[in-house]
Amino acid sequence: MADKKATRAAYGETLVKLAQTNDKIVVLDADLAEATTSKKFKEAYPDRFFDCGIAECNLVGMSAGLSTMGYIPFCSTFAIFGTGRAYEIYRNAVCYPKFNVKLCCTHAGITVGEDGGSHQAIEDIALMRVIPGNTVVVPADYNEAVKAIEAVSKMQGPAYVRLGRAPGEVLDDMPFELGKANVLRDGADVAVFACGYMVAEVLHAAETLAAEGKSVAVINVHTIKPIDEQTVMQYAQKCKNVVTVEEHSVIGGLGDAVAEVLMGKVDCKFKRIGVNDQFGQSGKYQDLLVEYGLDEKSVTDAIRAVL
């Protein structure tokens, strides 16, 4: 682990590379091409880029239409708008008919920072996970975001990819397969399932706890839906202590997805770490992580308390 790069930085760069060999890829944005980084695609392929203005429902609806013509639309805006304002359009015009649209939203979670609670999407995983047939992906770092975008471009059907604004650690290279979690660190005392920005924080917490003689398994659940039930079951049965960590509400996100797999099947201690039924607020993202108990120290203390 060394450099820091935001997962959103992977978006425009990866689409430019994919478009070189796939002329069916088109990109749509809602007047946020600079922030979502889709501007890079616009510069490389102006005839395959569509700025829909501040009209997110049209953005998703146009993407649905383009998919019926054989194109692979990548539909980008901030997570709060793509999953919130355009929710009904995405549900009924994309997912209901199973169209091949990729909703890739940046600026998710409280690490949006100074934009404040109105722009910090902490319910988006829950909203996207509940839609039948929708694939939900939350990359842990820049490299995994590249692989996630490549993977959803090849799959058939709707997919939501959650990307962040804040720079995060670039982790050691890892394999990527949709629906298959990555075990980044084996352990026997507690299994910690994490996604997105929180994966790096959990890895640091595991190192601290290892120095105290505690054996912590760290599992990167990059695909929230379909979730890797086999790996979840395996590590819950092995460790008997389960913790989930996400930069999202504890309601409806990764924690609930893991709990649904284990409910009535595994007897284990279970704790969800995330945003506890409250909105975000304006502030530097580092300070917000501390405020909401999602910084390395807070996560370490919470895992230690379970043990």
Q: How far apart are CA 160 and CA 171, in angstroms?
A: 22
Q: Active site residue: 13, 43, 56, 123, which one?
A: 56
Is there a catalytic annotation at residue 56? yes
The tokens describing 305, both together, are 């308390």
Which residues are known to be catalytic? 56
